[in-house]
Each structure stands twice: as structure tokens, then as C-alpha cells.
Amino acid sequence: MADDDQGTEKKKSSPVITIAVIAVLSLLAGGGGWLVGNMLAPPPTEEVAKAEPAAAAAEGGHGGGGKGAEGQEVPNISTPANGIVLLDPITSNLAYPSDNRVRLEVALMFKDAPDVALAEEIHQDIMAYMRTVSLQQVQGPRGFQYLRDDLQERVDLRSEGRVTNVMFRTFVIE
């Protein structure tokens, strides 16, 4: 039995070897990440890199303020000429649970010239309807589709067919 104790002595690895192994593995992981990153999103070519500062200078700095390359303003899609009216954001409590809130931004597409008074009536009608909806009714993609269909039907009844489409811009429940 005394021989067994002497033959099973464990050698302790030195901390230098452990640190070296960790360093080599870290370098391999970093190199692999760099390689995969370049394969998924290659760095921009020289032409693109030169064009970006020139475009920023033409726009006049950060963001460009909604101006195009020639300095003219980019047209907004929700204009009376396009027949689209962007409604004010709708924020309301849900019917159940009442501590949940919904924020909704909707745009209406009119057949002919937009009617702002009708758009305001529809806005108020959508807000009143959202107060009757419960969280369970709008959960999931099917619930959201039912909500869209219900709102489209209400808008069709209210506008007597003058509004052709209800477009959701944002829909947030908190």
C-alpha cells in the first residue's frame, strides 16, 4: 500500500504554461472572429470610403437636415398632394390590464383630396376603440392582424369609402 501512494503523485502545472495556453487560445479566437467578420461584412472599398466624406460635405454636415445632394428638400410622403395624412400619435390605456399603455402612429391614404376634418374624426374613433381592446386581443401576429382589420373596417365605415388604406407606422405596448 505504501507503494501505491508513492506512484500516484500528481504533477502541478506551472502558471506560466497556463497563461501561455490562454494567450494562444485568445489569439486564435480573435483571429477567427476577425476572419468571420470580414467574410460577413467586408470593409468598404476605396471608392465608397472616398465618396462618404464628399457626400457629407455636400449635405452640410451631420444628417443633412432632410436635404438632397443639390440642397433641395426631399419630399415627404405624407402630403396632401399624395393623398396621405399622418395622424398624431395615439397614446391610450388598454381595457385590460388597465396599467398597460399602447402607442400607435397611423397614416391614412385617401382616394381623392384628403379631408383633415374627417382625419381628425377617424383619429378620435381609433383612440376610443383602442381603449376597448385588451392585451390578449392584440398578442401575437394574428392578434395584430385582427386589430388592423378591425381598424380598417372602422375607418371604412367612418369615411364611407373615402379612405382606401390604414398604414401603421409604429405600434408599441408597454
Cβ–Cβ under 8 Å, residues 95 and 132:
yes
Alpha carbon distance 2, 29 (integer Å):
46
Beta bridge partners of 92: 102
Domain ranges of the chain: 84-173
Q: What is the pLDDT along the chain (174 residues), one digit of tens a residue?
A: 555 555 566 677 788 999 999 999 999 999 998 888 888 877 777 665 666 665 555 555 444 444 544 555 545 555 666 788 889 999 999 998 889 999 999 999 998 888 889 999 999 999 999 999 999 999 999 999 999 999 999 999 999 989 999 999 999 998
Under 8 Å between Cβ of 130 and 102: yes
Residues 122 and 78: their CA atoms lie apart, in Å, by: 16
Residue linked to cell 432632410? 66
> In angstroms, rounded to a whole number, what is the distance separating the alpha carbons of residues 5 and 86?
84
pLDDT of residue 64: 47
pLDDT value at residue 25: 95
Fold of 84-173: Tetrahydropterin Synthase; Chain A (3.30.479)
For position 172, what pLDDT does the model report?
A: 93
Q: What is the pTM of this model?
A: 0.55
What pLDDT was estimated at residue 82? 77
Residue 112: per-residue pLDDT: 86
Q: How much is the pLDDT for 168?
A: 92
Please, what sign has the CA dihedral across residues 61, 66, 67, 68? Answer: positive
pLDDT value for 57: 53
Cis peptide before 89 (omega within 30 of 0): no
